[in-house]
Amino acid sequence: MKIAVLPGDGIGTEIVAEAVKVLNALDLTFEMESALVGGAAYEAHGHPLPESTLNLAKAADAVLFGAVGDWKYDKLDRPLRPEQAILGLRKNLGLFANFRPAICYEQLVGASSLKPELIAGLDILIIRELTGDIYFGQPRGRRVATDGHFPGAEEAFDTMRYSKPEIERIAHVAFQAARKRNKKVTSVDKANVLETFQFWKDVVTEVHAQYPDVELQHMYVDNAAMQLVKAPKAFDVVVTGNMFGDILSDEASMLTGSIGMLPSASLNSKNQGLYEPSHGSAPDIAGKGVANPLATILSAAMMLRFSLNQEAAAQRIEAAVQKVLAQGLRTPDIWSEGTTQVGTAQMGDAVVKAL
Amino acid sequence: MKIAVLPGDGIGTEIVAEAVKVLNALDLTFEMESALVGGAAYEAHGHPLPESTLNLAKAADAVLFGAVGDWKYDKLDRPLRPEQAILGLRKNLGLFANFRPAICYEQLVGASSLKPELIAGLDILIIRELTGDIYFGQPRGRRVATDGHFPGAEEAFDTMRYSKPEIERIAHVAFQAARKRNKKVTSVDKANVLETFQFWKDVVTEVHAQYPDVELQHMYVDNAAMQLVKAPKAFDVVVTGNMFGDILSDEASMLTGSIGMLPSASLNSKNQGLYEPSHGSAPDIAGKGVANPLATILSAAMMLRFSLNQEAAAQRIEAAVQKVLAQGLRTPDIWSEGTTQVGTAQMGDAVVKAL
Ligand SMILES: CC(C)[C@H](C(=O)O)[C@@H](O)C(=O)O
Ligand SMILES: CC(C)[C@H](C(=O)O)[C@@H](O)C(=O)O
């Protein structure tokens, strides 16, 4: 079991260290190798995703990823910015299926912006297509407009696109995931405006014929953004494109109030995967030892489940996280009156002890 | 003062009737003419936006619009579906500036999904560009993919685009609006991925040089979707493109818990405007006399302010709405224990009485 460990920038190094600690405490043997990525790789090698890092990731069964990015790289040319590393990994490894659970832990209901009755027990799974859409569509760039409102003016443009097999494979992933859950899929589109998403809706409907036991609902993206606020528990599995998925998965995470707890997985067709917390690199608290490592530790659990075929070990980690929450241990982001505040390393140690 | 009255479908006719009642109760003289639009126009004339309706709208100083749409038109070819009427009006009248206030009325704080302390006193203004972006960009359609992940497969595509003058004019609108409010603009983009929105960010920054008294903040769309949930009151004016604005303005409306209260205005460069409630045609409650007419009545107030230059009359209507809320009158969508439930027409009558 080969794991490429890519801590990245900001709090990335601190939180990944705790996840590695937890993995090492299992009675399993891993081959782990670390490499620089993002701003850290740019500083050392002049590129956010050096060949050597990409090759390490390609050769591994799974990538354990921290986070990338810092305001200080905002002025760099786009191809050199830290987030290009994550886009490059997705593209080069073909990681088309992104799993973003939005779960509200019983003990953390109070941290949500939402009223407790709306959020308690929330357990939805957002499946975001991750290698297509307007993220990678060509052509894109700047040019002089030849039509539109201001012909002759300078304009910038991008191409949104989805091919049939791209939609089919993510639809299968969603229906299969729903079968293991509450058997309901909400496909989010903008078919009333976009050709791409009318096609998306048509193809998802077609694939659905193979899953008569799963309920399929179609919803416009603007309505989905509203329904997530109004009645998040009405969702089970949500499947959508790369751009809408970016927005809705972040909205859903924040609804739980504890984004510091939420893992993610990005898989290709061979079940190779990249595992990372749903939150970012948080440069403002980097190096202070206060970041919450639980999202990364839970991402390691997803890695064991999806890419390394170690379901039992995944469950051990998840149970251990539940246990430390029950013990009242909290990093500052999820702390509330009556609970015990701990730092990043203490939290990792507590999970190891609870295994 | 010429007003084109386009009630549309579903609850549209009921709520627009109340707004017309309120306008007629003012001591002003309007020339009002009605026409069919949306599904109603399709049934009568075979097109959701007949020439005659479009010409009426063009010749008017303002359009008072209800809502369009019904599930039963979902199977029609796209150019015949009700929502094409609204896209056609925006395009043909050049209504590039959409104002979507998200306000939480003191008496309705309890209706929000959010905890009262997060939402009480909310007053943000989302300014959405309305005639550009991927909504109208060409080319778009279906074809055989020649590159990408599956060359040779069927694909659908759309074009996102913004020209410099399109971004400049909406940026000016936003900075000018902020000057009359709390002098803070958040420009929402996805510059880390899209060429279009890197350009958007650059141009907004350039225009900002003319408004040194206004604070400008840039935010990625995924982060904006989160911050709206986490701390909505941190925003003042939000400006963004057509697609992101569609999603974020609906999310923000729903945060208030009383979307039945929220008006909108869509203006062109001559201050001609289309005024409509932020909510939809709600076919499920159409014809029952229970729809909330206040968003439409408040849209009529915006019409008086922006297109008809009648600030005093606009304020009279807004004060009357405050008064009926203070009297405890509520349509079912905003009803809560201890308040008096009324129907659509009773609510309209109460506003007239309170004028
Ligand atoms: C960093 C950025 C390119 C990325 C995205 O938009 O996909 C991020 O927001 C995410 O969701 O992983
Ligand atoms: C009906 C639809 C085309 C429209 C849009 O997407 O603009 C609606 O959602 C809106 O926001 O007015």
- Digit-coded pLDDT (tens) for B113-132: 999 999 999 999 999 999 99
Contact B68, B84 (CB under 8 A): no
Please identify which residue in the block is written with the tokens 């963004």. Answer: B240
Tell me the pLDDT band of A71, cut-offs 50, 70 and 90.
confident
Q: Where does residue B215 rank: exposed (0-12), middle (13-18), buried (19+ CB within 10 A)?
A: middle
Q: Is A73 on the interface with B (CB under 8 A)?
A: no
Q: Which residues, 6 or more positions from B139, have their beta carbon under 8 angstroms from its beta carbon?
A: B157, B159
- The answer to whether residue A213 is catalytic is no
Nearest ligand to the C-alpha atom of residue B197: 1
**Cα–chain center distance at B262:** 8
Give, as one character, the DSSP assignment of residue B333.
G
Give, as one character, the DSSP assignment of residue B4.
E
Please identify which residue in the block is written with the tokens 């989010």. Answer: A188
Q: What is the dihedral of CA A131, A135, A138, A143, to 10 degrees?
A: -170
**Does A157 sit within 8 Å of B161, measured CB to CB?**
yes
**Does the pLDDT at position B74 exceed 90?**
no
User: Which positions in chain B touch A255 (Cβ < 8 Å)?
Assistant: 229
Which domains does chain B possess?
1-98+264-355 (3.40.718.10), 113-133+162-256 (3.40.50.2300)
Q: Ligand 1: which residue has its CA nearest to atom 7?
A: A246
What is the per-residue pLDDT across B292-319, written as a single tens digit (0 to 9) for each?
999 999 999 999 999 999 999 999 999 9
Helix (H) or strand (E) holding B347: helix B344-354
**CA separation for the pair B6, B16 (Å, rounded):** 8
**Does the pLDDT at position A175 exceed 90?**
yes
**CA separation for the pair B21, A148 (Å, rounded):** 40
Q: Which of B 212-231 lie inside 8 A of A, CB atoms?
A: 221-223, 225-226, 228-230
Mutate to test the pocket of ligand 2, among B87, B130, B248, B249 (most ligand atoms within 8 A of CB): B87
Half-sphere exposure of B43 (CA within 13 A, CB side): 12
- The binding-site residues of ligand 2, defined as CB within 6 angstroms of any ligand atom, are A 192-193, 222; B 83, 86-87, 246
Q: Which residues, 6 or more positions from A180, have their beta carbon under 8 angstroms from its beta carbon?
A: none
Range list of β-strands (E), B130-261? 141-144, 154-163, 184-189, 215-220, 237-240
Q: Is A140 annotated as a binding-site member?
A: no
Give the closest of B113, B153, B154 to A114, CB-based: B113
Three-class SS of residue B162? strand
Q: Which of B 143-162 lie inside 8 A of A, CB atoms?
A: 145, 147-150, 153-162
Q: Which residues pair with A11 in a beta bridge?
A: none
Give the closest of A166, A223, A254 to B149, CB-based: A166
CB atoms within 10 A of CB B13: 18
- The rounded mean pLDDT for chain A is 97
**Does the pLDDT at position A191 exceed 90?**
yes
Candidates A245, A246, A277, A274; CA nearest to A260 is: A277
Q: Is B319 on the interface with A (CB under 8 A)?
A: no
How large a percentage of chain B has pLDDT more than 90? 97
Alpha-carbon gap: A329 to the closest alpha carbon of chain B (Å) = 23
**CA separation for the pair A256, A295 (Å, rounded):** 13
Q: Is B121 on the interface with A (CB under 8 A)?
A: no
Half-sphere exposure of B29 (CA within 13 A, CB side): 0
Q: Where does residue B262 rank: exposed (0-12), middle (13-18), buried (19+ CB within 10 A)?
A: buried
Tell me the pLDDT band of A235, cut-offs 50, 70 and 90.
very high
Give me the catalytic one of A202, A222, A230, A353. A222
φ/ψ (deg, to 5) at B345: -70, -40
**CA separation for the pair B248, B188 (Å, rounded):** 10
**Does B195 sit within 8 Å of A157, measured CB to CB?**
yes
**CA separation for the pair B43, B37 (Å, rounded):** 10
Report the pLDDT value the prediction gives residue B178, as an integer from 0 to 100: 98
Instruction: Map chain A to HEC letters.
Output: CEEEEEEECCCHHHHHHHHHHHHHCCCCCCEEEECCCCHHHHHHHCCCCCHHHHHHHHHCCEEEEEECCCHHHCCCCHHHCCHHHHHHHHHHHCCCEEEEEEECCHHHHHHCCECHHHHCCCEEEEEEECCCHHHCCCCCEEEECCCCCCCCCEEEEEEEEEEHHHHHHHHHHHHHHHHCCCCEEEEEECCCCCHHHHHHHHHHHHHHCCCCCCEEEEEEHHHHHHHHHHCHHHCCEEEECHHHHHHHHHHHHHHHCCHHHCEEEEECCCCCEEEEECCCCCHHHCCCCCCCCHHHHHHHHHHHHHCCCCHHHHHHHHHHHHHHHHCCEECHHHCCCCCEECCHHHHHHHHHHHC
Report the pLDDT value the prediction gives residue A75, as an integer from 0 to 100: 87
Give the closest of A83, A118, A195 to B192, CB-based: A83
Handedness of CA A196, A202, A206, A212 (dihedral sign): positive
Q: Which residues, 6 or more positions from A209, have their beta carbon under 8 angstroms from its beta carbon?
A: none
**CA separation for the pair B27, B25 (Å, rounded):** 7
How large a percentage of chain B has pLDDT more than 70? 100
- The answer to whether residue A135 is catalytic is yes
Alpha-carbon gap: B125 to the closest alpha carbon of chain A (Å) = 17
Q: State how far the alpha carbon of B324 is from the alpha carbons of A348, B294, B346, in Å.
A: 56, 10, 11
**CA separation for the pair B130, B87 (Å, rounded):** 9
Give the closest of B153, B160, B254 to A226, CB-based: B254
Considering only A1-15, B66-80, B172-186, B290-304, which range has the smallest mean pLDDT? B66-80
Nearest ligand to the C-alpha atom of residue A67: 1
Ligand 1 binding pocket includes B336 (Cβ within 6 Å)? no
Best probe of the A interface among B146, B221, B229, by most A CBs < 10 A, is B229
Amino acid at B308: L
φ/ψ (deg, to 5) at B221: -60, -35
Q: Which atom of ligand 1 is nearest to the CA of A250?
A: 11
Report the pLDDT value the prediction gives residue A74, as an integer from 0 to 100: 85
**CA separation for the pair A305, A313 (Å, rounded):** 8
And the tokens for A259?
A: 């984004």
What is the per-residue pLDDT across A97-143, written as a single tens digit (0 to 9) for each?
999 999 999 999 999 999 999 999 999 999 999 999 999 999 999 99
Report the pLDDT value the prediction gives residue B170, as an integer from 0 to 100: 98
**Does B148 sit within 8 Å of A136, measured CB to CB?**
yes
How large a percentage of chain A has pLDDT more than 90? 97
φ/ψ (deg, to 5) at B131: -125, 10
Considering only A74-83, A192-201, B299-308, which range has the smallest mean pLDDT? A74-83
Q: Is A194 on the interface with B (CB under 8 A)?
A: yes
What is the pLDDT averaged over residues B18-38? 97
Give, as one character, the DSSP assignment of residue B71.
G
**CA separation for the pair B61, B271 (Å, rounded):** 8
**CA separation for the pair A194, A162 (Å, rounded):** 11
Nearest ligand to the C-alpha atom of residue A128: 1
Range list of β-strands (E), chain B? 2-8, 31-34, 62-67, 97-103, 123-129, 141-144, 154-163, 184-189, 215-220, 237-240, 263-267, 273-277, 329-330, 340-341
φ/ψ (deg, to 5) at B64: -100, 115
Report the pLDDT value the prediction gives residue A267, as an integer from 0 to 100: 98
**CA separation for the pair A145, A232 (Å, rounded):** 42
**Does A166 sit within 8 Å of B140, measured CB to CB?**
no
- The answer to whether residue B70 is catalytic is no
What is the pLDDT averaged over residues B238-245? 98
How large a percentage of chain A has pLDDT more than 70? 100
Report the pLDDT value the prediction gives residue B7, as an integer from 0 to 100: 98
Q: At what angle do helices B83-93 and B51-59 cross, to 10 degrees?
A: 40
For chain A, the first-to-last Cα distance in angstroms comes to 20
Report the pLDDT value the prediction gives residue B71, as an integer from 0 to 100: 87
Q: Which residues pair with B273 in a beta bridge?
A: B62, B267
Q: Which atom of ligand 1 is nearest to the CA of B193?
A: 3
**CA separation for the pair B291, B298 (Å, rounded):** 14
Strand bridging mode B263-267 / B97-103: antiparallel
CB atoms within 10 A of CB A72: 11
**CA separation for the pair A174, A241 (Å, rounded):** 12
Q: Which atom of ligand 2 is nearest to the CA of B130?
A: 7
Give, as one character, the DSSP assignment of residue B114.
B
And the tokens for B184?
A: 């803070």
